[in-house]
């Protein structure tokens, strides 16, 4: 796992270079599950930026369990993400699901996301490894740490050293109260095994907005380098993942709570 290499990923954005890593301040990625329309994405971008986030997240291509669920607006949503960047200067993180879409996703994204369901899509891993944009690699929902790190290794081996690992919860037997079990023990384990920066996603990790703040704070206390938080201007009306999305107001409060815990740099 190439331990000993520079333990940071540097992402150029309109607002300057953002450093992900153990020796840098916390980086917060926030935004809706899906890009729904221009007004909502620009409004969300403005709100999360004002609260202190460095990156806007939002899906154009969505990996949905049901083929009848909203699949994302695709290419047109990429244009809306670009508009949100212009309006705010935030970096953009969005998911690529298919090698055929990689070029156009990478044109807009400052960091290309590979989702949990594609963690072992080896042809996609090789392709994102052979392009220049940093890659956010989410942990497969039933992947071991070893499988996850080997998936990261595919990207590194293809020539892209800029990989950020994102724990987003693993399959749980208790679906009644949580969508997944957020594996915070992955933080110290990864720290001992790899130089790659560590992000925690308590939104997909719990599936419930009311549990997100506690797990976000726990992630910082355990040493996470970065957080991904779903934020929607009207969670009740969201086209995907509304139940786990914070309102902009709650996100703003969370950012103030996180500042109290801080992060050793
Ligand atoms: C997402 O980030 O919106 C997403 C689909 O996440 P995951 O791949 O972790 O389920
Ligand atoms: Mn989501």
Q: What is the C-alpha end-to-end distance of the chain, expressed in Å? A: 23
DSSP letter for each residue of 25-43? --EEEEE-SB---HHHHHH
Q: Is the pLDDT of residue 264 over 60?
A: no
Q: In whole angstroms, how far apart are CA 240 and each of 32, 34, 101, 137, 171?
A: 8, 6, 21, 21, 19
Distance, CA of 252 to CA of 110 (rounded, Å): 24
Place of tokens 């949990």: 116
Nearest alpha carbon to residue 112 among 147, 86, 78: 78
Answer yes or no: is pLDDT of 4 > 70: no
CA distance 168 to 173: 16
Query: What is the number of other CB atoms lying within 10 angstroms of the CB of residue 4?
Result: 7
Q: Which ligand is nearest to the CA of 64?
A: 1
Structure-derived torsion over alpha carbons of residues 38, 165, 227, 47, reported in degrees to the nearest 10:
-10
Q: Distance, CA 2 to ligand 2 centroid (Å)?
A: 31
Angle at 122 between CA 183 and CA 155, to 5 degrees: 75
Q: What is the pLDDT of residues 206-244, one digit of tens each?
A: 999 999 999 999 999 999 999 999 999 999 999 999 999
- Residue 28: beta bridge partners? 227
Q: What is the pLDDT of residues 43-95, one digit of tens each?
A: 999 999 999 999 999 999 999 999 999 999 999 999 999 999 999 999 999 99
- Which residues neighbour ligand 2 (ion) by CB within 5 Å? 33, 241
Length of the chain counted residue by residue: 265
Identify which of 201, 238, 244 to mutate to test ligand 1's pocket (most ligand atoms within 8 A of the CB).
201
Query: Which tokens go with 117?
Result: 């369901």
Please tell me the pTM assigned to this model: 0.97
Residue of the CA atom closest to atom 4 of ligand 1: 115
CB 61 within 8 A of CB 72: yes
Average pLDDT, the chain: 96
Angstrom distance (rounded) from CA 258 to CA 221:
10
- The two three-digit tokens of residue 115, written as one number: 């989702």
115 lines ligand 1 (CB under 6 A): yes
User: Residue range 129-137: average pLDDT?
Assistant: 98
CA angle 226, 8, 160 (to 5 degrees): 105
Q: Whose CA is nearest to atom 9 of ligand 1?
A: 116
CA of 179 to the centre of ligand 1 (A): 12
Nearby residues of 144 by Cβ (< 8 Å), 6 or more positions away: none
């Amino acid at each position: 796992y190439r331990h000993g290499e520079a333990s940071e990923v540097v992402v150029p954005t309109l607002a300057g270079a953002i450093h992900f890593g153990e020796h840098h301040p916390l980086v917060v990625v926030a935004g809706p599950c899906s890009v729904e329309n221009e007004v909502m994405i620009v409004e969300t971008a403005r709100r999360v930026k004002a609260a202190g986030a460095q990156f806007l997240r939002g899906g154009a291509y969505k990996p949905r369990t049901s083929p009848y669920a909203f699949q994302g607006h695709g290419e047109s949503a990429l244009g809306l993400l670009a508009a949100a960047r212009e309006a705010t200067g935030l970096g953009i993180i969005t998911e690529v699901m298919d090698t055929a879409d990689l070029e156009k996703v990478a044109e807009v994204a400052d960091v290309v996301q590979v989702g949990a369901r594609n963690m072992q899509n080896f042809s996609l891993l090789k392709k994102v490894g052979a392009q220049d944009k940093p890659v956010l690699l989410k942990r497969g929902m039933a992947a071991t740490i070893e499988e996850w790190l080997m998936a990261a290794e595919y990207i590194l081996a293809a020539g892209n050293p800029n990989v950020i690992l994102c724990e987003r919860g693993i399959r749980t037997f208790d679906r009644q109260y949580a969508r997944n079990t957020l594996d915070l023990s992955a933080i110290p384990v990864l720290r001992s095994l790899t130089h790659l920066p560590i992000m925690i996603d308590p939104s997909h990790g719990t599936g419930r907005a009311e549990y997100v703040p506690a797990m976000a704070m726990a992630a910082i206390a355990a040493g996470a380098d970065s957080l991904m938080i779903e934020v929607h201007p009207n969670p009740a009306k969201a086209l995907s993942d509304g139940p786990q999305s914070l309102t902009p107001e709650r996100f703003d409060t969370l950012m103030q709570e996180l500042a109290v815990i801080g992060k050793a740099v």
